[in-house]
Structures are given as C-alpha cells and as structure tokens.
Chain A
C-alpha cells in the first residue's frame, strides 16, 4: 500500500502539534505574547515582564505540563503497542494488554501498598512488582499441562487475573473507608496528575528500550500470527521470541500502572483504529500504533484537564470514548480483521 507512509507522516505531525499545543493548554491562561516573551527571556534576552512571572511560566511549562505530556505519550504508546503485540501473538484481535493479568496484579500491588506504606514511591514499586508477578504466575500455570501453548497461556492469564482481582477485593474490604478506600478507588480510575519529572526520569529508559526491542522484532510477530507450527517451520525460534515479547509488553504495561493507574480500553481500541489506517503488517502497525496511542491519550488527558473545573479521571474518559469507537470498529469486523 502506497498510502501507508503518508498516514504515518500525518500521525506524527498531529502528535507533534498536539504535544506542543498541550503545553499551552491548562487552567492557567498562557497567551501568545507570554510565549514570545518567555522564549526571548529563556534565550537570555531582556523582557518587559518581571523575573518572577517568568519563573512561574517556567514552572508551569517544565515542571507541571511537560512531565504530564511526556507521561501521556509514554502511557498511550505503551498500552497500544502491548495491545497490538498481544493481538498478533495470540492471533486474536479482541485481546488487550491485561490478558496475562498484568493490570490486575499491578492494581492489587498499588492498593496493598496504599494500606501498608504511605509513600507514593512504594505504591509505584509495588504496582510494578505485582504486575510482573501476575504475568509470571500465568506463565507458570501455562506450563502445568501440555497442550496448545497459546490456549494454556490464555487460561493461565484468566486464573492469574481472577486471583489478583480477588486479592484486590480483600484489600479494598480491609481498607479504611474514609481515607484509604477512596485513594485506592481513585488510583484505579487512572490519572496522570501524580506524575512528576522524577517519575519520568525513572521510567523513560525502560519504556523506550522495551518499545525499541518490540519494534525490532516486528517481522517475527507477522510469522507468529500464522500459528506456532508454521512460524517454526519458517525458522522462527518461537519460544524465545514469544517470551521476549511477553516480557517487554508486560514491563511497559506495568509501568503505565506505575505512572497513571488503570487506563482502560486504549490497548484494545487504538491498535484497531491504527490497523484500519495502515493495515495489519506489524512492521508498520507497531510504530504507527505507538504514535496513534500517544496522540489519543494526549488528547484524552487534555480533555480530562479542561472539560470541567475539576479534573475527570483519565481512565473514565478513555473508557467512555473507547466504547463508541469500538462499536464503530466492530462494524468492519465482518469483512475480516483489517
């Protein structure tokens, strides 16, 4: 398809524009003349405005809005990429990043640490740890019996997900209903409001490494979606490739919970939209879906900040907008998956 490259170009331009635009959107009004003055001031020039005002603008841009924009880009691309990877690996377009239990595990980890520790760092560490533990559990369960590896993995994921969801309910039940329970519930709704520069500095390296590795392995994803035996007969080391894909997808999904809590539907809907735009070839789909996911979550986060005077939790917004999108996408399903 000749139209693939222009589509990617358009998406990346839109993403750049959205990222820049988001810098100037927010409760505190920033006008064009402010930006001009600020730029001149940053470059060492004189300014008609006060030093104090410039420092305030710098705070808004670089300490409040920029980390949030970066977080939206990372979370959006991570969820869409891991969704797309799972969809081709499990040869099923209805699969989402939570298939192997990572989101259930991470939710439990976050809730548990909110009861026992007070620090945000502990919440992030526990969310990440239990997210990975849940996937490790489902992979172990999948090894208990012989049989179709993919089906065993899916069953393992169902069991592991249900187990950690039950544990989460116990934690919620035991939590202090005036203080801890609302905090847990709010975290699970998903939001980027707790993200700071220091969070970003922890997570951006593993994020980019995993996404880069996934992009490098895209030719194998195409072969894997022909089925295990066919992929092996094509010379693909199926076991090794699949484990690498699962580990990378799990790490980035767990990191999204670390940064933003549970953001639903992005990992299911965005790969579908992207597949309609660029086709199912993973070599193009994976990088394209990373950008589409980033763009989508950036717009959703802007809406969550600006729509009302109080911020709407991002996870609620992505679910509300994702569902009608998905209904539209399902209309195409009859023709075979994009």
Chain B
C-alpha cells in the first residue's frame, strides 16, 4: 500500500461524470504529475485527494486512513494545497500569508505566538524569500507568490503538497527555478502531486505520471516509460514524438516544428 492511495474513485458533478474509476498509488517522496487536456478532470482529482470534494464512489486513503474520516484540521496537518498563483483582494503581508499555515496546529481561539512567527520565517528562509516578509503579497511577482504559498505549505507541517499547475503564469526562469525547488524538497522526503500542461516538465522531474482524458486514466507509470510518442499523441490528439537528444535527455517534439526543420 502506498503513502497515498486513490482507490477506484469516481466523481460526478450535476449528473455529469467527471472522473471514472481512477486509481493511483503515490509513494513517499515521489513526484506524481497529472497530465491531460483541459476539462479532463485533473483539478477535480486534486480536490478529491485534498478532501475538498467527496468521492461519489471509491475512496482516497492518506497514510493508512480514509480521507473522508479525517477532519479538515487533521487533513491540513498532513496534506497542503498550493493553489494556482492567484490575485488576492486584500494586500496581506507575505509573512501573514505564510503564518496562516499554523492554523491547523492552533486551538479554536488563538493568537500567533513568537514561535509561529519563527516557523513561518524559517520556511520563508528555505524558499529564499525571507527578505520579502514585510512586502504585500499583491506587490510581489508571480514566482515569489508561488514560493510564498510553498513556504505556507511547509509551515503547515504537511508531508504531501498538492499543486495545481504550479508553473502557470511564471516566466521561463521562474518555471525552472520552481521545478528545481520541488525536486530538492522531494529528495528530502516531501511528496508532490501536481497537475501540469507541460509533458517536458514531467520528463524533467522523472517522477511518475498519470494521464487523464475525459475523466479516465489512459496511461500511468514512471514518467520515462509512460510519456511516449504514442501516449502523448493520443492524449492531446496531436502528431508528436518524444525523442532523445545526444546527451540522453528526452524532449517532446510536435510535428509542427519538425516540418519547419526538415
């Protein structure tokens, strides 16, 4: 049994089946990427894992316990949500956003203590954004916001981070930096489940991949085995090839650019 098990989960929204008997095993320290076209049910799967939605059939088991039996407080202590970079209506300080991660560890009525602040600051330090702690969240760049949300997840004390398209809206440099941070955290034992629109990133992370289409699993397995010319072509309905460069790195090449080169 894995660290997280998604067991034959189905989900319907207003009578439309969004996910159909999806199963997934995630081991500790693994990076699992969920690939699929828009509307394939990727985000729904994340929200089922987070316990935000209740499965229609099947169940999600987190560290041996069914998610539906866990309170939101208990869940928050072991699994953290890193949402897509968002705009916030109010300009909270970066430190205040990170400190929210302490909520599941506090009693009903509480004030943040000096210790909470220290934990939040050390998480920001790990992400290299401690110098931004007094800045308003609304005034920093998208990359810095994403790091702030990861720092909040670390402050939460969770072992598993669920990220919804973590690189969307980031420039190329910040995308690469973010992915390298994810990989080094995974080496420390943190588990990642992310949705993504970039098959190349899945190959870079070399974790495991789950391919969803129309709410059904079309392929899953180790990224380097499952991300192939055939699986991607059928997933996106696109002629493309996964090739290997001379230095051994795999890259996705859509036919469109191939025609130009040849």
**Which positions in A face B, CB cutoff 8 Å?**
1, 88, 91-93, 146, 216-217, 219-220, 222-223, 225-227, 229-230, 232-238, 275, 279-281, 283, 336-338
Contact = CB atoms under 8 A, between A and B. Distances in A.
B226 interface: no
A338 B91 contact: yes
Given A223-B100, A225-B89, A233 B138 contact: no
Contacts of B100: 219, 222-223, 226, 234
What are the 7 tightest A-B residue pairs by CB atom distance, in nearest-first order? A235-B104, A235-B76, A233-B81, A280-B90, A235-B73, A336-B138, A91-B89
Given A230-B83, A234-B100, A234-B103, A225 B90 contact: yes
Given A222-B96, A280-B92, A234 B134 contact: no
B158 to A, nearest CB: 10
A223 B93 contact: no
A104 B74 CA distance: 41
A249 to B, nearest CB: 18
B44 interface: no
Given A93-B90, A336-B139, 14 more contacts: A88-B90, A91-B90, A219-B112, A222-B92, A222-B100, A223-B100, A225-B90, A229-B47, A229-B83, A230-B81, A230-B83, A233-B75, A235-B73, A337-B89
A216 B107 CA distance: 12
Contact of B91 (A230, A236, A279): A279
17 contacts: A88-B90, A91-B90, A225-B88, A229-B52, A230-B81, A233-B72, A233-B80, A234-B76, A234-B81, A234-B100, A234-B104, A235-B156, A236-B103, A237-B72, A237-B73, A279-B93, A281-B96
Interface in B61-105: 71-73, 75-77, 79-81, 83, 86, 88-93, 96, 100-101, 103-104
A165 B153 CA distance: 46
A337 B89 CA distance: 6
Contacts of A283: 111
Contacts of A220: 103
Contacts of A91: 89-90
Contacts of A222: 92, 96, 100
Interface of B: 14, 47, 50, 52, 71-73, 75-77, 79-81, 83, 86, 88-93, 96, 100-101, 103-104, 106, 109-112, 134, 136, 138-139, 156
A223 B104 CA distance: 11
A233 B103 contact: no
Instruction: Report which residue of B79, B86, B88 has the largest number of chain A beta carbons within 10 angstroms of its beta carbon.
Output: B88
Contacts of B101: 234
Nearest to B162: A233
Contact of B92 (A92, A232, A235, A281): A281
A318 B154 CA distance: 47
Contacts of B104: 234-235
A92 B89 contact: yes
Given A219-B103, A222-B100, A233 B90 contact: no
Contacts of B83: 229-230
A256 B109 CA distance: 27
Contacts of A225: 88-90
Contacts of B89: 91-93, 225, 337
A225 B88 CA distance: 8
Nearest to A282: B90
A83 B209 CA distance: 47
Instruction: Report which residue of B47, B72, B139 has the largest number of chain A beta carbons within 10 angstroms of its beta carbon.
Output: B72
A133 to B, nearest CB: 29
Nearest to A336: B138
A235 B107 CA distance: 11
Contact of B90 (A219, A235, A238, A337): A337
A316 B109 CA distance: 39
A283 B99 CA distance: 13
Contacts of A219: 100, 103, 106, 110-112
B87 to A, nearest CB: 8
A233 B47 CA distance: 10
Contacts of A280: 90-92
Contacts of A93: 89-90
Contacts of B103: 219-220, 223, 234-236
B117 to A, nearest CB: 13
